[in-house]
Amino acid sequence: MSQEVEKIKEILEKEIKPMLKLHLGSLDFVDFKEGVVSVRFQGTCKGCPLSNLTLKTGIEALLKEKVAGVEKVEAVE
């Protein structure tokens, strides 16, 4: 596993998931390829109208700031 993937997973576990859990939601790391992090929303986050806002302004912004090479974060089914 690459250093980037380890760092992404650590940030998701320690910083993102606890916030999502407050709203009975979660997400799973799916992949990191060519600068794109793929995640899958779970619980109440799945299908939530605000999930795209959370994805772009929260998760993507944080990962781009903290992990070199992250250019984009996308949700997959």
pLDDT digits (tens, 9 = 90+) for 7-22: 999 999 999 999 999 9
Q: What's the mean pLDDT when you consider all of the chain?
A: 95
The whole-number pLDDT of residue 1 equals 76
Mean pLDDT of 22-51: 95
- pTM for the model stands at 0.93
Which domains are present in the chain?
3-75 (3.30.300.130)
For residue 29, give the nearest of 52, 5, 48, 60 by alpha carbon: 5
The whole-number pLDDT of residue 60 equals 97
